[in-house]
Amino acid sequence: MIKGLSHVTLLVKDLDEAKQWYTEKLGLEERYDVPLGEDFRWVTVGAKDQKDLEIVLHKPRTPEHETQLGKQALGVFNSDDCRQDVDALRARGVKITGEPEEQMWGIQAIFEDLYGNMFVMVQPPSGS
């Protein structure tokens, strides 16, 4: 039986550059940066208040993986104040591709990471 999701892997060109972007631009915390052998590092980041889920930053290991950079599925980040968070992300240089707008599930905005991977930020409706 599935008990939950613990890790999501995201392809990135450069581990140090990606780790810096996710920690400085999004405010996530570094969880691990451990060398495993000569050419592999286990690098993870995550939200400070969500210890049970980590994003694994992973360099492509094959030419086929390289073609997937910037083409991964949308991830969804929760927000208490989507408009305020978008202003803060924009001030840090994050590319906002969808301005905050009302949806039936709350206020939603869309942004990209430094490789073109897209993410959604959602502020649930009041009282939910």
More confident residue, 72 or 99: 99
Name the CATH code of domain 70-128 (choices 1.20.1250.20, 3.10.180.10, 3.40.50.150, 2.30.29.30): 3.10.180.10
pLDDT on residue 42: 93
How many whole angstroms separate alpha carbon 56 and alpha carbon 10? Answer: 6
Query: What 3-state DSSP class applies to 52?
Result: coil
75-100 mean pLDDT = 94
pLDDT on residue 71: 75
Same fold, 1-68 and 70-128: yes
Q: pLDDT tens-digit profile of 49-66?
A: 999 999 999 888 888 888
- Which structure tokens are listed for 69? 């950079």
> Which top CATH class is 1-68?
alpha beta
Structure confidence at residue 1 as a pLDDT band (50, 70, 90): low
Tell me the pTM: 0.81
Where exactly are the structural domains of the chain?
1-68, 70-128
